[in-house]
Amino acid sequence: MAQRWTNTLKDRDCTPESVFLNRRQWMAGAAAGVGLAGLGMPAAASETLEPNSYDDITQYNNYYEFGTGKGDPARNAHTLTTAPWSVKIDGLVDKPGDYAFEDILKAMTIEDRIYRFRCVEAWSMVIPWNGFELADLLAMAGVQSDAKYVAFETALRPDEMPGVRFPVLDWPYVEGLRLDEAMHPLTIMATGIYGKDIPNQNGAPLRLVVPWKYGFKSIKSVVRITLTDKQPATSWNKANAREYGFYSNVNPQVDHPRWSQASERPIGGGLFAKRKPTLMLNGYEEDVAALYAGMDMKKNF
207 is in an annotated binding site: yes
Identity of residue 28: A
61 is in an annotated binding site: yes
Walk me through the domains of the chain, giving residue ranges and CATH numbers: 11-292 (3.90.420.10)
pLDDT of residue 23: 41
Residue of higher predicted confidence among 116 and 279:
279
pLDDT of residue 8: 64
pLDDT band at residue 5, thresholds of 50, 70 and 90? Answer: low
- What's the mean per-residue pLDDT of the chain? 83
119 is in an annotated binding site: yes
Q: Which residues contact 289 (CB under 8 A, 6 or more apart)?
A: 280, 281
Residue-wise pLDDT tens digits, 84-143: 999 999 999 999 999 999 999 999 999 988 888 888 988 787 778 899 999 999 999 999
Look at the alpha carbons of 8, 255, 221, 50 in this order and tell me if their dihedral is positive or negative: positive
- C-alpha 157/C-alpha 299 separation (Å) is 36
88 is in an annotated binding site: no
Residue-wise pLDDT tens digits, 56-81: 322 347 789 998 876 787 789 999 99
218 is in an annotated binding site: yes
220 is in an annotated binding site: yes
Contact assessment for residue 73 and residue 61, using Cβ atoms and an 8 Å cutoff: yes
pLDDT of residue 41: 31
For the beta carbon of residue 29, count every other beta carbon within 10 angstroms: 7
In terms of average pLDDT, the best of 129-133, 184-188, 256-260 is 184-188
pLDDT of residue 239: 96
65 is in an annotated binding site: yes
154 is in an annotated binding site: yes
Residue-wise pLDDT tens digits, 203-242: 899 999 999 999 899 999 999 999 999 999 999 999 999 9
pLDDT at 55 over 60: no
pLDDT band at residue 16, thresholds of 50, 70 and 90? Answer: low
Q: What is the DSSP letter of 213?
A: B
- Residue 265's DSSP bridge partners are 123
Q: Kindly report which listed range (9-23, 87-101, 140-154, 187-201) carries the lowest average pLDDT score.
A: 9-23
pLDDT at 46 over 60: no
Strands 174-178 and 188-193: unpaired
pLDDT of residue 3: 55
